[in-house]
Amino acid sequence: MTAPHEKSRDEVANNANERTDDGDRAIDALLARVRAAVSAQPVTVAEVPSHAVVRRIANDASDLAGLFETQATAVGMRVTRVHGNQVGGPSTLDAEIAQTLARLIDSHAGTTGRAVVAVKDRELARIAECAAGARLASNTDDDLLFGCAVGITDVDAAIAESGSLVVSTNYRIRNAWITPPIHIALVRESQVLADLVDLFESRQDALDAASTTIITGPSKTADIEGVLVTGVHGPAAVEIVLVA
Amino acid sequence: MNELIAPPLPFDMKPRAREAVRDLKLQQFVGSATHLKDIHRGGIFDRDFGHDYDALRTVARDTKQHALDHLDELLEQFIANARASGATVHAATTGAEACEIALRIARAHGALSCVKSKSMVTEEIGLLPAFEAAGIKTLETDLGEFILQIDGDAPSHIVTPMIHKDRVATAQSFVRELGARYTEDPTELTMIAREHMRGLYRAADIGVSGANFLLADEGAAVICTNEGNFDLSVGGPPVHIVFVGIEKLIRGARDLAPFLKLLARSGTAQPLTVYTSFVRGPRRAGEHGGPKELHFVLVDAGRVGVLASEKRDLLRCIRCGACLNACPVYRKVGGHSYGSMYAGPIGAVLTPELERAQAGGGAGLANYADLPRASSLCGACYEVCPVKIDIPKFLLHDRARLRERGLSPKSEGAMLRLWRWLAERPMLFRLAIGAARLHARLLGQKDGSRAWLRAAPGPGAGWTQSRDLGMPTGERFRDWFATHAAKRDTKRGAR
Amino acid sequence: MRVALFTTCLAEALAPRALKAAVLVLEHCGVAPEVPLAQTCCGQPLLSNGLPNDGAKLAQRMCEIFAPYDAVVTPSGSCCSVVREKYAGLFAEGSRERANANVLAAKTFEFIEFLETQLKIDPTTLKPKDCSANARCATLTCHDACHLRGLHRHGCTAPFLRSAGCGTVRDLPDMSQCCGFGGMFSTQFPEVSSALGDEKLAHFTSTGAAVLVASDTGCAAHLAGLAHRKGVAIRVISPAEAIAESLGLLAREVTSANASTEAAMHPKNGTEVG
């Protein structure tokens, strides 16, 4: 977009500096008032309590992939499992992923719709790009995402307990999972965490990005008379390819 | 600002409540929606946490209370960490200051258009009117908020802002305001809104949102939506401003899980909201998409005053809306009867308190004298609160303040004190009850063992405005018991 | 064990039969309750309406009056919750008054709660001998007082009465919603209060029951008063009355509102048994 502010960048910088001075004073004032307010009442909770009860799924629970599939389906996403056991061996697993992806892209984008690939995993990225073929969107177009029929991503993690996907902007085009009307997510079974708690306890790296989103279903609204409608702003459908 | 949620003060709730009770459509929409939400909420907690539900709420209560008790430290950490990730942090004492900060940022970028994600605090500070007055065209992107915006209406529920409106009203607004063809189908209506907004997301100069949580460790904000409108409004425009009340701070992601699990289940009976989005600084080098500037505006607007007061607990609220759904009074009077963007039980205690604690000092309860009284004290709000805010306790507290400050009806106070005086004198007390019974026996309509009054005198008049008063006509309990006990004792003695 | 009946002012004024029933049922269970004469009001109207200091004076009275007893039983769920949940907080920590309030709170029970948790009455032992032929059996439904929530006794009345064979006990839809009474709320916001009451009555009607068992005198008076104004056929009684009637300790009352329906169902009903 042609931003009117482009030409006055210096001015912006100057303003920003001035603001910072004012801003610092305001922040110091706020901190001082908050300090006074905090000490105006006795501390009632000295220690943060144990969060043991928060966890629903033990992190050594069996068949997390199966639970993830069940829960993701329950919140309205579709799961296709790829085992690579059609013939056997890793090359057939790749082939099966490619085949599944191609089928999903076909069904949602047809032969002319474009697909954006925002996959961090090199191997999966290559497979996804092949599957998209001629429909692959170029990464330089500013309006890229709004013109795509399908957004393909991998994930940083998945959560069995809630059937959630965790996607960050770490080496992925931001919002590739939310702007196109269909999101296809590639998830390896080894990425499935038991519980939301595990994301925050052992996978803080997933939060070390400009933006991270935990996705639990297709975009939903029930604002009009409580009737559930999917696809209000984000995708109407989320297809998960769960890779063994 | 919209008078529905920012009425002239002092605010008189009663006319709005009376009108709402007579509004059959409102009764139907709000009544059925809140009932369903409350049932689903209970269902998902039973299913997912069973007997641990109460323990989970206790954990959330204590975790948030701990954060409030240490808010100064968390605030410092947040500011340092947010800055380290490249965000700019601002502090606003008042709503007007918060708006002014936003306008300065917008002006610096020559912004003419804004996409806004749903946020209670921006309703509170009046951001939208401030932007509109400055010529910045602002789009509410949450579907419900969008429909309210084009109708000049105001939210009546924290989570489901248009709970008081139906599909017909929406269909008519879309024809009138968007030139859409008439349809009452919620899916079609939603798609009309989607198409309308997609172009606006791409063209907007600035994005605005609130936040559900601030993480001190990470210097990040967490925003929960079901629609995905936050991600789009932060992803497109070159500048994004997050407005957030300081009470949203917690230590970090390590403390987040209980709140996320409780928030979505309490609000909409989901395991998590569809999108739980973490924003940690502006777009980084080499990244595609995301704002080049990210601003956090930390809003006080009375919160520091609440923090210092005996009502600190109120700041635990995570705005799930469960207390609204469970509240019998909210179900009957709807959100606009509370004269605030915070309706229902939490609004009844929070609205006067925030107003009182504003910089400069508002009149607080004097401006909202009806709110603490508009409750049957049934306790449903406390029972469903995910952070265990004892709302009935604070309602009682406020009723006492009203009485002390002479803001409750004087006659009522005199009557209650007379009651106490009588209650300390058992003989007189019984005489008074006897007189009431005699009155009913002489003037009431006899039916079985009761005499019914259609119009009781004095303090009973309020009662008989809408119901009859049935007084027993037979033997008094004490007389019966005296005889009965004497017989009983004789029998026992004989044995 | 010395057991006192905490009658409550509202029940003495409006529901003497509920108190009578409580006495008779307790005696049936082997307890002879006493009725301390000096008791008046527990102070709830004051505590709920911004006069905690006035309420505290009545609370102190209550503590003194019930001091000699081992247990205090009341047919009112709401007054019970005030004693249990509110009294102690009225007095300074460490004070003698606070200690007395805690003692009273620990020995005060709602009627059904007392039978179930203190007397450990198995409700099935309260079953009338021959229910099918017994004209005393009615179709009833239960509305529990909201204040039983805090006592963790909300929703306990219906199962108890069902096990006790007090007629056919139907579930009241949306039982957990307040009936709209709320003490002085009923006169401060009469439109809202009666709208909630009307909803409760509509749910009652939908069950097809003839009798509503309300575990608080206030709720009962509110609902019966609304029904009487509107001509809705309903008989509102307390849990103790339901059990007393079922056991034949009390005869069922007949009013114009229920005469036709109940007479049709139980042609021989009417005379005092107790």
**C57 contact B CB<8A:** yes
Distance CA B416, CA B109 (A): 62
CB spacing of B328 vs C194 below 8 angstroms = no
Check: CB of residue C29 under 8 Å from CB of residue C119: yes
For C205-214, what is the mean pLDDT? 96
Region A53-243: CATH code: 3.40.50.10420
CATH 3.40.50 location in chain C: 123-265
Q: For the segment A142-160, what is each residue's pLDDT rounded down to a tens digit?
A: 567 899 999 999 999 999 9
Separation in Å, CA B182 to CA B144, B150, B223, B300, C268: 18, 16, 34, 44, 64
CB spacing of B110 vs A214 below 8 angstroms = no
Confidence (pLDDT) at A20:
59
Instruction: For residue A54, give the chain B residue with the closest CA.
Output: B258
| Neighboring chain B residues of A217 at a CB cutoff of 8 Å | 270, 274
Cα-trace Rg, chain C:
18
Strand-pairing partners, residue A211, are: B279
Residues in CB range of C20: below 8 A, 6 or more apart? B477, B480, B481, C244, C250, C274
Mutate to test the interface with A, among B231, B293, B354 (most CBs of A within 10 A): B231
Closest to B266 (Cα-Cα) out of B317, B321, B345, B335 = B321
Strand-pairing partners, residue B208, are: B116, B241
| Neighboring chain B residues of A218 at a CB cutoff of 8 Å | 274
Q: For the segment C118-132, what is each residue's pLDDT rounded down to a tens digit?
A: 999 999 999 887 655
Distance CA B272, CA A75 (A): 9
Confidence (pLDDT) at A23:
80
Whose structure tokens read 């307890």? C31
Residue B56 reports pLDDT greater than 80: yes
Instruction: For residue B36, give the chain A residue with the closest CA.
Output: A226
Distance CA B300, CA B133 (A): 23
In chain B, the largest separation of any two C-alpha atoms, in whole Å, equals 100
Task: Tell me what ipTM this predicted complex has.
Answer: 0.95
Residue A15 reports pLDDT greater than 90: no
Mutate to test the interface with B, among C177, C203, C211, C236 (most CBs of B within 10 A): C177
Whose structure tokens read 């890229």? A144
How many CB atoms are located within 10 Å of the residue B76 CB?
15
Tell which phi-psi region holds residue C183, choosing left (phi > 0), alpha (psi between -120 and 50) or beta.
left
Check: CB of residue B140 under 8 Å from CB of residue B151: no
For B398-424, what is the mean pLDDT? 96
Residue B289 reports pLDDT greater than 60: yes
Element (H, E) at B331: helix B328-333
Distance from CA of B283 to the nearest CA of A (A): 6
CB spacing of A200 vs B62 below 8 angstroms = no
CATH of C123-265, one of 3.40.50, 2.60.40, 1.10.287, 3.30.70: 3.40.50
* Domain boundary assignment for chain B: 71-306, 411-494
Residue C57 reports pLDDT greater than 90: yes
Distance CA B468, CA C227 (A): 8
Residue A140 reports pLDDT greater than 80: no
- Show the CA angle centred on residue A139, arms to residues A138 and A141, nearest 5°: 80
Check: CB of residue B230 under 8 Å from CB of residue B274: no
What's the mean per-residue pLDDT of chain C? 91
| Neighboring chain B residues of C180 at a CB cutoff of 8 Å | 328, 376
For C29-38, what is the mean pLDDT? 97
CB spacing of B228 vs A8 below 8 angstroms = no
Confidence (pLDDT) at A18:
47
Q: For the segment C130-165, what is each residue's pLDDT rounded down to a tens digit?
A: 655 455 568 999 999 999 999 999 999 999 999 999
Whose structure tokens read 């600084």? B281
Share of chain A above pLDDT 70, in %: 87
Confidence (pLDDT) at B364:
95
What's the mean per-residue pLDDT of chain B? 96
**B474 contact A CB<8A:** no
Check: CB of residue A225 under 8 Å from CB of residue B166: yes
The secondary structure of chain A as a DSSP string is ---TTGGGHHHHHHHHHHHHHHHHHHHHHHHHHHHHHHHTS--S--SPPP-GGG--S-TT-S-HHHHHHHHHHHTT-EEEEE---SS-SHHHHHHHHHHHHHHHHHHHHTTTS-EEEE--SHHHHHHHHHHHGGGBPPTT-TTTGGG-SEEEEE-SEEETTTTEEEEESTTS-TTTTTSSSEEEEEEEGGGEESSHHHHHHH-GGGG-SSEEEEE-SS-EE-TTTT--EE-SSS-SEEEEEEE-
Residue A45 reports pLDDT greater than 60: yes
Query: Phi/psi at A27 (nearest 5 deg)?
Result: -70, -45
Confidence (pLDDT) at A88:
55
What's the mean per-residue pLDDT of chain A? 89
Q: Which of B403, B447, B463 sits opposite C255 (nearest CB)?
A: B447
CB spacing of C45 vs B35 below 8 angstroms = no
Least confident piece of the model among B51-60, B181-190, B358-367:
B358-367
Beta strands, E only, B28-163: 88-92, 113-116, 137-140
Confidence (pLDDT) at B448:
84
pLDDT band at C263 (very low <50, low <70, confident <90, very high): very low
Residue B127 reports pLDDT greater than 60: yes
Q: For the segment A66-82, what is each residue's pLDDT rounded down to a tens digit?
A: 999 999 999 999 999 99
Token output for B91? 């502090």
Mutate to test the interface with B, among C23, C34, C49 (most CBs of B within 10 A): C49
Token output for A37? 């307010």
Distance CA B325, CA B343 (A): 11
Token output for C31? 């307890």
**C206 contact B CB<8A:** no
Share of chain C above pLDDT 90, in %: 86
CB spacing of A200 vs B232 below 8 angstroms = no
Mutate to test the interface with C, among B477, B478, B479, B491 (most CBs of C within 10 A): B477
Confidence (pLDDT) at B329:
98
Residue C38 reports pLDDT greater than 50: yes
Confidence (pLDDT) at C133:
44
Four-CA torsion A24, A25, A27, A28, nearest 10 degrees? 110
Q: In what order do the strands lie in the sheet with C139-143?
A: C168-170, C139-143, C211-214, C235-237
Tell which phi-psi region holds residue B86, choosing left (phi > 0), alpha (psi between -120 and 50) or beta.
left
The secondary structure of B155-224 as a DSSP string is --SSSSTTTT--HHHHHHHHHHHH-PPP---HHHHHHHHHHHHHHHHHH-SEEEE--SEEETTTTEEEEE
CB spacing of A178 vs B260 below 8 angstroms = no
Instruction: For residue A22, give the chain B residue with the closest CA.
Output: B90
Cα-trace Rg, chain A:
22
Tell which phi-psi region holds residue B347, choosing left (phi > 0), alpha (psi between -120 and 50) or beta.
alpha
Strand-pairing partners, residue A220, are: A230
| Neighboring chain B residues of A57 at a CB cutoff of 8 Å | none
Mutate to test the interface with C, among B36, B391, B393, B467 (most CBs of C within 10 A): B467
Residue B398 reports pLDDT greater than 50: yes
Check: CB of residue B345 under 8 Å from CB of residue B381: yes
Q: For the segment B5-23, what is each residue's pLDDT rounded down to a tens digit?
A: 999 999 999 999 999 999 9
Confidence (pLDDT) at A215:
98
For A41-65, what is the mean pLDDT? 95
In terms of DSSP bridges, do strands A229-230 and B450-453 run parallel, antiparallel, or are they unpaired? unpaired
- Touching A: B residues 50-79, CB under 8 Å: 52, 55-56, 58-59, 62-63, 65-66, 68-72, 75-76, 79
CB spacing of C41 vs B468 below 8 angstroms = no
- B303: Cα separation from own chain's centroid: 15
Residue B315 reports pLDDT greater than 80: yes
Instruction: For residue A24, give the chain B residue with the closest CA.
Output: B90
Residue A139 reports pLDDT greater than 70: no
Instruction: For residue B429, give the chain C residue with the closest CA.
Output: C40
Four-CA torsion B176, B178, B181, B183, nearest 10 degrees? -80
In terms of DSSP bridges, do strands C3-5 and C108-110 run parallel, antiparallel, or are they unpaired? unpaired
| Neighboring chain C residues of B35 at a CB cutoff of 8 Å | 174, 177
Distance CA B464, CA B456 (A): 6
Confidence (pLDDT) at C273:
37
| Neighboring chain C residues of B438 at a CB cutoff of 8 Å | none
CB spacing of A211 vs B308 below 8 angstroms = no
As to burial, measured by CB atoms within 10 angstroms (0-12 exposed, 13-18 middle, 19+ buried), residue A88 is exposed
User: What is the homologous superfamily of the domain B71-306 according to CATH?
Assistant: NagB/RpiA/CoA transferase-like (3.40.50.10420)
Instruction: For residue B445, give the chain C residue with the closest CA.
Output: C228
Instruction: For residue B476, give the chain C residue with the closest CA.
Output: C16
| Neighboring chain B residues of A233 at a CB cutoff of 8 Å | 141, 194, 197, 227-229, 232
Residue A238 reports pLDDT greater than 80: yes
Instruction: For residue C21, give the chain B residue with the closest CA.
Output: B477
Chains in contact with C via at least 3 Cβ–Cβ pairs below 8 Å: B
The secondary structure of B250-298 as a DSSP string is ES-GGGTHHHHHHHHHHHHS-SS-SEEEEE-SSPPTT--SS-SEEEEEE
Closest to A218 (Cα-Cα) out of A186, A178, A166 = A178
Chains in contact with B via at least 3 Cβ–Cβ pairs below 8 Å: A, C
Distance CA C76, CA C6 (A): 9
Burial readout B238-267 (b: 16 or more C-beta within 10 A, e: otherwise): bbbbbbbbbbbbbbbbbbbbbbbbbbbbbb
CB spacing of B376 vs C52 below 8 angstroms = no
CB spacing of B400 vs C52 below 8 angstroms = yes
For B36-50, what is the mean pLDDT? 97
CB spacing of B481 vs C35 below 8 angstroms = yes
Question: Is chain C adjacent to chain A, meaning 3+ CB pairs within 8 angstroms?
Answer: no
For A198-209, what is the mean pLDDT? 94
Distance CA A238, CA A216 (A): 10
